[in-house]
């Protein structure tokens, strides 16, 4: 199968500057979110079942994101009036308010910049999540196929883990804070020389010098 080359931001890149139309008015990215974490998530289209379940869940988790100094921002290639009508439908029929803005990328320019359009899926955006830190740097990217809905709890967990890693200079294990080996403990960065390797064994609990952990 012929491969198509794509250029889009990667982990560690600064989120590209852009001005977008949303259901809450025009926003400048990432400037309008400076000092906050931004969770930008795309969906294939309005008035679709899987996307509707996701938007309900994001709305239900909105307070958790705000407690983590994070703002939610949706995106699809639908026009703004479709976003507004879908928002109204969810509120009227499912009794859930959508408190966050949704980008109307009907020309596809934002999606092209972020690598959200896949040739085999026509003009629909893939399910993607970008987590951008308060300095505007992309820290996490997750892609899902159209057929599989996201787990919003996992996105909250990943955001918490990023913040702990930044604040404490540690790594977090699988499924932190509920890892089967370490529970809520965090992983100490590995030693970079022989002397440090021996100090690690003295100062922390370790399976070996390269696998040390501690309580927060």
d(C-alpha 158, C-alpha 55), whole Å: 18
User: What sign does the CA torsion over 110, 114, 120, 121 have?
Assistant: negative
At residue 150's C-alpha, the angle toward residues 112 and 118, to 5°, is 25
**Residues contacting residue 171 through CB under 8 Å, at least 6 positions apart:** 165, 186, 187, 189
> What Cα–Cα distance (Å) separates residue 84 from each residue in 26, 131, 135?
15, 24, 30
User: ω into residue 177 within 30 of 0, thus cis?
Assistant: yes
> What Cα–Cα distance (Å) separates residue 129 from each residue in 4, 43, 84, 188?
22, 9, 21, 28
d(C-alpha 52, C-alpha 127), whole Å: 13
d(C-alpha 37, C-alpha 199), whole Å: 35
Length of the chain: 216
User: What sign does the CA torsion over 40, 41, 46, 50 have?
Assistant: negative
Which of 38, 51, 70, 104 is catalytic? The answer is 51
51: annotated active-site residue: yes
What is the set of active-site residues? 51
């Amino acid at each position: 199968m012929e491969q198509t080359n794509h250029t889009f931001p990667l982990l560690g890149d600064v989120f590209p500057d852009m001005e977008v139309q949303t259901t809450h008015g025009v926003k400048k990215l990432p400037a309008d979110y400076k000092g906050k974490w931004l969770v930008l998530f795309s969906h294939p289209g309005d008035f679709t079942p899987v996307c509707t379940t996701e938007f309900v869940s994001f709305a239900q988790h909105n307070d958790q994101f705000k407690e983590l100094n994070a703002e939610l921002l949706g995106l699809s290639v639908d026009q703004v009036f479709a976003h507004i009508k879908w928002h109204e439908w969810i509120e009227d029929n499912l009794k859930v308010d959508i408190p966050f803005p949704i980008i109307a990328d009907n020309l596809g320019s934002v999606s092209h910049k972020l690598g959200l359009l896949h040739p085999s899926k026509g003009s629909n955006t893939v399910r993607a999540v970008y987590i951008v830190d308060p300095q505007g740097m992309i820290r996490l990217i997750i892609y899902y196929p159209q057929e599989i809905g996201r787990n919003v709890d996992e996105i909250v967990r990943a955001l918490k883990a990023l913040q702990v890693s930044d604040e404490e200079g540690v790594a977090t294990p699988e499924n932190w804070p509920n890892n089967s080996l370490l529970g809520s403990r965090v992983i100490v960065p590995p030693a970079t020389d022989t002397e440090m390797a021996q100090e690690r064994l003295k100062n922390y609990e370790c399976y070996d010098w390269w696998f040390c952990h501690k309580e927060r």
